[in-house]
Amino acid sequence: MNERPTLEASTLSGWRKSSYSGGDGGSCVEALDSYACGVPVRDSKTLEGPALLFPSSGWSCFIAAIACGRFPTHAPEASVSVPPHRHNQSILASQ
């Protein structure tokens, strides 16, 4: 298994909370868009913890796949459900 490089999240500034994050302080991620070596991603509840570093191209493909509905927005066995993205409304309506 390939291990992702990690960074010390507290040493970086300019974090942006995911647009899927609600105001209730639940499970969310933050990304740093302006990092030169890729896209650091961290757990918003663990500000002092590590950040995973993803290649910019891989992160862009991941975000595009979410926007196209390639990932389910609800998994019954999961404890956290992700609110549906506007591109997924037609998929959810057909289920």
Residue with more model confidence, 71 or 78:
71
- Residue 94: what pLDDT? 38
Tell me: the pLDDT tens digits for 3-54?
A: 767 888 888 899 988 776 666 666 688 999 888 889 999 988 888 889 999 9
- Residue 74: what pLDDT? 59
d(CA 90, CA 70): 13
Rounding to the nearest 10 degrees, give the CA dihedral for residues 21, 22, 23, 26.
-70
